[in-house]
Amino acid sequence: MIIIVNTNIYYPGRIGHTVAEETIIPGEEDVDRFDRAKRIGWLDMKAIAGAKVLMVGAGAIGNEVGKNLVLSGFRNITVVDMDRVVNSNLARCLFFQEIDATERGLKAEIVAAGMRKLDSKVRVKAITSTIQEQGENFIGRFSLVLGCLDNVLARLYINSHCCHFGVPYIDGAMDGFRGKVQVVIPPDTPCLECGMNRSHSRIVEQRFSCTGNDVSVFIPKIAADITTTSVIGALQVREAMKLMSGKSENCISNVAYYDGLSGSLDILEIEKNSDCLNHALPALKY
């Protein structure tokens, strides 16, 4: 124990006598795992710990988001992904090892296990099927949804259900050294569908095309880089921390575009689409 003494305090008639001002125990500030985060005055660590978070996608961005969620204090997380690990995942996913690719392990289970290793007190549930298979009311059970996906159809499914149930949705995407993050806060902000264009519509139509069971649509893999993946995952979880701390007014408005080649981060403005069905009815609060 260290006694901090203020040698400038003297009492009349007691020359040379001093008074101890405070007691400091060495290392006391290092006992609490989240001590440094709690020094950020506006962060509501209690609300963050109590939030029920849904993370959809356990690939490259999902690995980064999962890690960041645990280290930021989120304690109740559900991970949804139906896919299995392959060799090309290993250069961009911190939770995946070579044996996972060899054994074709399920991404959701491996990421969930890795998150638990970061903090034994975190509760992570892995679901190894598609988000569309979870039932119509599934998304309404959560405080917040983070999208870490690589296809438009699943994004639109999550977006529409988040708008319906009034659940904030933070969508992340990347292509090579470029990436984007959009924060959807129903019913106040534009949603993903508000900013869709004809290219997105064509992709959705390909998924739904009546081509028969013997025909499949080839969709090229998207270029990816671990440094850009890390930036996008960090931005998503930072926005989640703001939302859970009551700082929605400080969240990314519209869409944030990151260009790793130039090192720029720009906000692109989009407006609510008056024809968007997600804004036709008021969001439900469950």
pTM reported for the whole predicted model: 0.83
Is cis: bond before 187, omega within 30 of 0?
A: yes
Mind listing the pLDDT tens digit of every residue in the chain (286 residues)? 444 444 444 344 444 444 445 565 666 678 889 999 999 999 999 999 999 999 999 999 999 999 999 999 999 999 999 999 999 999 999 999 999 999 999 999 999 999 999 999 999 999 999 999 999 999 999 999 999 998 889 999 999 999 999 999 999 999 999 999 999 999 999 999 998 865 544 444 444 444 444 444 445 678 889 999 999 999 999 999 999 999 999 999 889 999 999 999 999 988 888 888 887 765 555 4
**Residue type at 36?**
R
∠ CA 71-75-80, rounded to 5° = 95
Q: Which pLDDT score is estimated for 221?
A: 78
Output the six-digit token pair for 254. 């519209």
CA gap 86, 84 in Å, rounded: 7
Instruction: For 61-128, give the DSSP string.
Output: HHHHHHHHHHHTT--EEEEE---B--GGGTTT-TT--HHHHHTT-BHHHHHHHHHHHH-TT-EEEEE-
- Output the pLDDT for position 279: 79
Domains of the chain (ranges, CATH numbers): 32-279 (3.40.50.720)
